[in-house]
């Protein structure tokens, strides 16, 4: 049993990181009150990665991608759906919670005092002004976004996917497998090149072409307009060319959802800045998941990681950090090698590590299918690795980067 019955913990965010914090508090037998503010989506937590994969292809239902409901919570838990944390009082440990529909208004809502606040508010899709609200134009961050896109698939309209990052590339592959004619557009030369580099970017481009996806790269969309509720959507590009589509998907990345902490005395320059143990400048405010910017001792650098397994691992760690503080112990650093995967055309891309700033790339083969396996080095040390259908080789590299990084950098907060 931890905590005491008069303590209150507020958990902001109703996706993987928030869900894991609540489950972890329950696992530790926290005896106080937990207020879980789940945000504007109005749904129980679900697997976001499935949105651009199995769900869009109709392989699974909305219900099948729900995160496993934790066993009946032993916690004194209050769940606030369709509600958002709207402000942190800089002079007191309390947070203003308002109905999501009233977010941004200065009045109303409920101030909730807390002994600890876990910020797990993640990210929202980047949507340039002028591109929002057009019929037939969608981004993909939420279950509701996926539902709106699926409603458009029946007539197999021509689809243009703008942005060939991870989500855009997955969407091109998934829409193609639903039988839609697909064009993939990006400002860069190759899909996913900023993530994986040129070798796997070229490999990905070939896979798109082999499956009948046309590409327009490099190209920048300069204008979008819709003829009416049923489309078509017209797109214009920086070279003056135009095209039309029945469905446009914007895969333009995401922005951190921590603007509500503005004025709360915390560093929000790239997500929410934390120390190595995931505590912010206010030690009873901690962060986990896509929103958390922390110093990762494995690489000796600050970073933010926008991937699934990081969110749950950080959430568990953040709870441990808070508990350590309660017991007067110094918490360990969150020393972790980031990992993500992406499924496209039946292939599994996987990457471990942190490739930013690498100065050397080595390409070999792994996994027995002749696909490229890439290692990224910095100052002669392997800092990241990526492969296709090569899970064992990728995971071996994860262990190696972890042990070498931990030895080189140390793991103290």
Structure tokens at 302: 């600050």
Which residues in 239-298 contact ligand FAD (CB under 6 A)?
Answer: 257, 260, 289-290
* DSSP alpha helix (H) spans, 109-230: 143-151, 166-177, 193-196, 198-210
400 vs 282: CA distance, rounded Å: 34
Q: Which residue, 19 or 216, is less far from ligand FAD as judged by CB?
A: 19
196 binds ligand FAD (CB under 6 A): no
* Per-residue binder mask for ligand FAD (CB under 6 A), 199-238, x = binder: ----------------------------------------
Helix (H) or strand (E) holding 397: helix 391-409
Nearest to 177 by CA among 144, 153, 149: 153
State the number of binding residues for ligand FAD (CB under 6 A): 35
**Minimum gap (Å) between residue 230 Cβ and ligand FAD:** 25
Residue number, 2 or 103, with CB nearest to ligand FAD: 103
Q: Please report how close the Cβ of residue 264 comes to ligand FAD at its closest, in angstroms.
A: 12
CA distance 47 to 308: 9
Q: Establish if 121 lies at the interface with ligand FAD (CB under 6 A).
A: yes
Binding positions for ligand FAD, 22-41, rule CB under 6 A: 37, 39-41
CB 270 within 8 A of CB 384: no
Q: How many CB atoms lie within 10 A of CB 150?
A: 14
Q: Closest distance between ligand FAD and the C-beta of residue 115, in Å? A: 18
| Residue 367 CB, nearest approach to ligand FAD (Å) | 18
Q: Which of 175, 209, 207 is nearest to 388 (CA)?
A: 207
Sign of CA dihedral 62, 64, 65, 67: positive
CA distance 116 to 32: 11
Provide, rounded to whole angstroms, the least separation between the CB of residue 326 and ligand FAD. Answer: 24
Which residue's structure tokens are 């995160």?
67
Please report how close the Cβ of residue 149 comes to ligand FAD at its closest, in angstroms. Answer: 10
**Residue placing its CB nearer to ligand FAD in the complex, 10 or 180:** 10
Instruction: Decide: is 376 part of the binding site for ligand FAD (CB under 6 A).
Output: no
Question: Binders of ligand FAD among 44-83, rule CB under 6 A?
Answer: 48-49, 51-52
Cα–Cα distance, 399 to 390 (Å, whole number)? 15
Of 10 and 232, which has the nearer Cβ to ligand FAD? 10
Task: Tell me which residues in 312-371 interact with ligand FAD (CB under 6 A).
Answer: 340-342
- Tell me whether residue 35 or residue 382 sits nearer to ligand FAD (CB atom): 35
Q: Does 16 bind ligand FAD (CB under 6 A)?
A: yes
Cα separation of 298 and 14, whole Å? 29
Which element (helix H / strand E) includes 352?
strand 347-353
Least distance to ligand FAD, CB of residue 211, Å: 19
Smallest separation, CB 364 to ligand FAD (Å) = 24
**What ranges make up the beta strands (E) of 227-262?**
233-237, 242-245, 247-250, 254-256
Contact partners, residue 271, CB within 8 Å, separation at least 6: 256, 258, 287, 290, 291, 292, 293, 304
Residue 387 token pair: 């492969």
Q: Which is nearer to ligand FAD, 49 or 405 (CB)?
A: 49
Binding interface with ligand FAD (CB under 6 A):
12-18, 37, 39-41, 48-49, 51-52, 84-85, 120-123, 140-141, 167, 257, 260, 289-290, 306-308, 311, 340-342
């Amino acid at each position: 049993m931890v905590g005491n019955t008069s303590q209150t913990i507020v958990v902001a965010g109703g996706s993987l990181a928030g869900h894991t914090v609540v489950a972890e508090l329950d696992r530790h037998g926290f005896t106080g009150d937990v207020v879980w503010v789940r945000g504007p989506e109005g749904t129980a937590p679900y697997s976001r990665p499935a949105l651009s994969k199995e769900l869009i292809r109709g392989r699974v239902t909305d219900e099948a991608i729900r995160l496993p409901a934790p066993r009946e919570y032993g916690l004194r838990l209050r769940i606030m759906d369709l509600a958002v944390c709207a402000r942190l009082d800089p002079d007191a440990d309390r947070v203003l919670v308002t109905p999501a529909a009233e977010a941004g208004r200065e009045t109303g809502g409920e101030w909730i005092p807390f002994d600890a606040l876990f910020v797990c508010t993640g990210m929202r899709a980047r949507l340039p002004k002028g591109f929002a609200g057009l019929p037939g134009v969608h981004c993909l961050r939420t279950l509701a976004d996926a539902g709106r896109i699926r409603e458009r698939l029946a007539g197999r309209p021509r689809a243009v996917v703008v942005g060939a990052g991870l989500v855009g590339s997955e969407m091109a592959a998934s829409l193609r497998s639903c039988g839609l004619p697909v064009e993939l557009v990006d400002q860069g030369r190759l899909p996913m090149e900023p993530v994986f580099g040129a070798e796997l970017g070229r490999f990905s481009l070939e896979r798109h072409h082999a499956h009948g996806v046309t590409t327009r790269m490099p190209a920048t969309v300069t204008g979008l307009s819709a003829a009416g509720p049923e489309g078509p959507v017209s797109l214009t590009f920086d070279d003056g060319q135009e095209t039309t589509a029945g469905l446009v998907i914007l895969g333009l990345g995401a922005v951190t959802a921590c603007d509500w902490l503005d004025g709360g005395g915390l560093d929000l320059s790239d997500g929410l800045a934390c120390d190595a143990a995931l505590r912010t400048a206010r030690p009873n405010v901690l962060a986990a998941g896509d929103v958390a910017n922390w110093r990762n001792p494995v690489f000796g650098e600050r970073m933010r990681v926008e991937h699934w397994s990081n969110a749950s691992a950080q959430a568990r760690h953040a709870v441990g950090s808070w508990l350590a503080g309660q017991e007067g112990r110094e918490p360990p650093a969150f020393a972790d090698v980031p990992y993500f995967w992406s499924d496209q055309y039946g292939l599994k891309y996987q990457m471990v590590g942190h490739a930013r700033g690498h100065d050397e790339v080595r390409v070999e083969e792994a996994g027995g299918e002749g696909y490229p396996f890439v290692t990224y080095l910095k100052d002669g040390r392997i800092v990241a690795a990526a492969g296709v259908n090569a899970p064992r080789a990728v995971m071996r590299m994860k262990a190696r980067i972890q042990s070498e990084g931990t030895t080189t950098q140390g793991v103290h907060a």
